[in-house]
Structure 1
Amino acid sequence: MGFLGFLLLGLIAGAIAKLILPGKQGGGWLITLLLGVVGALLGGFLGGLLFNANLEEFFSIQTWLLAIGGSIIVLLIYGFVVNRGSKARN
């Protein structure tokens, strides 16, 4: 998968993760892109490590599920850090 394909995968996976998680997550499309790309990296790393998954194909359901799962994990961590920081300021 090329670099632009990976960015597109990260953006879409981040957007889907935001739709799946309840509540309001902050950040615009740039934060969604960054969290999605980091999530796709995390999902790909964990998928390769735990399931010996081959993540070379853009249109593979396995690639998408791992990217979305990784994005959900990263989005949960991001929400925890951001919400904890805003509560500490109050």
Structure 2
Amino acid sequence: MGVIAWIVLGIIVGVIAEHFVSGRKSHGLIVTCLIGIAGALLGGWIATTVFHVHSLQGFFNLSTWITALAGSVVLLGAAQLVEGRRSLRR
């Protein structure tokens, strides 16, 4: 699957992941989409490089969506942790 497909998938999955991670305060739509894109790309890279999963071939494959969703949830969770630490400092 190409990088463009991972970007489109990341935008969709970023919005879905925001509902899973939703904390006290939601991110804006643009930030959520950017984190979703980065999470999808990171999830795809980890799946193919570290775990040697080569079944991430199709856009409509369930394992592709799960991988992108997992990467997006991890990055959104990390972003909320960073934001939480910033608010504690103030």
Using structure 2 for the length normalisation, give the TM-score. 0.84
1:18-49 C-alpha deviation (Å, 9 max, x unpaired): 11124234321111111001101111121113
Q: Which residue of 2 aligns with 1:31?
A: 31
For structure 2, list consecutive stretches of 5 or more residues without a partner in the other structure: none
- Give, as a single letter, the amino acid of the residue that structure 1 aligns with 2:24: K
Percent identity between the aligned chains? 37
CA distance in 2, matches of 1:74, 1:29: 15
Tell me if structure 2 keeps the 8 A contact 1:18–1:25: no
In structure 2, relative to structure 1, the CA distance for the partners of 1:63 and 1:25 (3 Å cut) is farther
Number of the residue aligned with 2:43? 43
Question: Moved runs in structure 1, 4+ residues, more than 4 A?
Answer: none
| 5+ residue gaps, structure 1 | none
Measured on the aligned residues, the alpha-carbon RMSD in Å equals 1.7
Alignment partners' CA distance in 2, 1:74 and 1:25:
16
Instruction: Count the aligned residue pairs.
Output: 89
User: 2:67 matched to which residue of 1?
Assistant: 66
TM-score, normalised by the number of residues in structure 1:
0.84
1:14·1:36 contact (CA, 8 Å) conserved in 2? yes
Which residue number in structure 2 is paired with residue 18 of structure 1? 18
| Alignment partners' CA distance in 2, 1:85 and 1:14 | 22
